[in-house]
């Protein structure tokens, strides 16, 4: 092999996909042809159906899909016990990975790789992820497990199971939008990981668990937790200047900024910023929003105006602010991201299985001389 390879496969087109379109120069993101901004006011069930089935459902299809998702929300006492055995100091993401792995052991369709069985398993994962995360979080706080409320939406039910009280209409809408905005993002590291595993014809649980593992990293979905911690550390808008300038002068990354594909403002970040503003106003406490806006202002001055680099807030920046207002602890943040992203991983696995070719690139050997 000759020539310069782009490090980190930057800008390499690795496969064809009908799921998500990104224009990183213009800041455009579409799921199955629908602009993400317009989708963010739909329900997560509709968007999850769209990603998996390729088109928005009609009313009958949506009712039947939502019913299936709701029926699958409950997890068994055995899974609750497994989540109780987890180390309570870990991130919820690690507990979710363990619980999904256990869930696969109990699924009679585990090794059935037909499209129908994979959709069934996908629906089970989408439905049970919120319950697993909420159960882990409550048990580690020494609280009783709350059973899912089938009358509530995907987002509202998660908040209810987490906190034990019904969320406001705005909180429910904001979390639904969060799940939608987090649902897919083309060939991001976790979707690529999931597809690579699926391409070996391993089962869909293994593929999604691979996605979970990749999402956890701080250069990917783990940045959301890091942004929450950064906002806490900064504490007030007046401290933001020194914090950002320390990062800049030490050549450290500012979490929640920059993107491999977007060379302009991430379109999801715009929607998140508006959601963060709305929920801050409803809470009567603008502090976290104001800190974030100040960080953004300084980052824009330093990165874009002074250095001419296209480093803008990404999906993890204002979503972290939204999570603060929803009272989601930092150690839960990546797992909550994964709840939304599950539909995207499943859509990618289904697409991979439907027209599979083993994903197996090459490496250029640069080791010791060969005899």
Closer CB to ligand ACO, residue 178 or residue 203? 178
The rounded distance, in Å, linking the Cα atoms of 258 and 214 is 18
- Tokens found for residue 169: 């209409």
Q: What is the enclosing helix (H) or strand (E) of 152?
A: none
In degrees, to the nearest 5, what angle opens at C-alpha 40 toward C-alphas 35 and 41? 115
| Helix/strand/coil for 350 | helix
Q: How far is the CB of 312 from ligand ACO (least distance, A)?
A: 10
Q: How far is the CB of 225 from ligand ACO (least distance, A)?
A: 11
Among residues 132, 48, 125, which one has the least CA distance to residue 332?
132
Identify whether the C-beta of residue 68 lies closer than 8 Å to the C-beta of residue 123: yes
Closer CB to ligand ACO, residue 73 or residue 185? 185
Q: Which residue is nearest to ligand ACO (CB)?
A: 258
Which positions touch ligand ACO (CB under 6 A)? 8, 188, 219-221, 223, 253-260, 309, 311, 314-316
Q: How far is the CB of 338 from ligand ACO (least distance, A)?
A: 11
The rounded distance, in Å, linking the Cα atoms of 188 and 38 is 22
Closer CB to ligand ACO, residue 152 or residue 339? 339
Closer CB to ligand ACO, residue 79 or residue 181? 181
Please name every residue paired with 23 in a beta bridge, in sequence order, or none if there are none. Answer: 28
Identify whether the C-beta of residue 96 lies closer than 8 Å to the C-beta of residue 132: yes
Q: How far is the CB of 219 from ligand ACO (least distance, A)?
A: 4
CB-based burial of residue 203 (10 Å sphere; 0-12 exposed, 13-18 middle, 19+ buried)? Answer: buried
- Tokens found for residue 30: 């579409």
Closer CB to ligand ACO, residue 146 or residue 304? 304
Active site members = 220, 259, 316
CB-based burial of residue 38 (10 Å sphere; 0-12 exposed, 13-18 middle, 19+ buried)? Answer: exposed
Q: How far is the CB of 248 from ligand ACO (least distance, A)?
A: 7
């Amino acid at each position: 092999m000759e020539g310069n390879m782009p490090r980190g496969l930057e800008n390499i087109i690795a496969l064809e996909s009908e799921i998500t379109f990104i224009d990183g120069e213009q800041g455009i993101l579409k799921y199955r042809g629908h602009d993400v901004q317009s989708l963010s006011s739909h329900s997560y069930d509709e968007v999850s159906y769209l990603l998996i089935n390729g088109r928005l459902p009609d009313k009958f299809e949506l009712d039947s899909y939502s019913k299936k998702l709701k029926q699958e929300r409950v997890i068994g006492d055995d899974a609750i016990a497994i989540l109780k055995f987890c180390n309570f100091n870990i991130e919820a993401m690690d507990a979710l990975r363990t619980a999904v792995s256990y869930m696969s052991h109990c699924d009679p369709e585990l090794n059935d790789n037909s499209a129908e069985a994979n959709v069934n398993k996908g629906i089970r994962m989408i439905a049970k992820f919120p319950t697993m995360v909420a159960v882990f979080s409550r048990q580690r706080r020494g609280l009783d497990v709350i059973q899912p409320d089938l009358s509530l939406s995907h987002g509202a039910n998660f908040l209810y199971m987490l906190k034990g009280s019904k969320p406001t209409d705005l909180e429910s809408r904001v979390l639904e939008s969060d799940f939608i905005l987090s649902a897919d993002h083309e060939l991001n590291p976790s979707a690529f990981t999931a597809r690579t595993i699926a391409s070996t014809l391993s089962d869909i649980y293994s593929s999604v668990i691979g996605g979970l593992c990749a999402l956890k990293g701080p250069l990917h979905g783990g940045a959301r937790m890091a942004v929450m911690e950064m906002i806490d550390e900064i504490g007030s808008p007046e401290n933001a200047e020194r914090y950002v300038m320390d990062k800049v002068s030490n050549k450290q990354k500012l979490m929640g900024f920059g993107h491999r594909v977007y060379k302009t403002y991430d379109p999801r970040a715009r929607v998140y910023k508006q959601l963060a503003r709305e929920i801050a106003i409803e809470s009567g406490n603008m502090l976290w929003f104001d800190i974030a806006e100040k960080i953004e202002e300084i980052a824009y001055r330093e990165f874009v105006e002074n250095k001419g680099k296209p480093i803008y807030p990404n999906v993890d920046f204002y979503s972290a602010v939204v999570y603060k207002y929803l009272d989601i602890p930092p150690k839960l943040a990546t797992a909550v991201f994964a709840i939304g992203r599950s539909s995207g991983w499943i859509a990618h696995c289904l697409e991979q299985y439907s027209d599979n070719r083993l994903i197996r690139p090459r490496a250029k050997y640069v080791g010791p001389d060969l005899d």
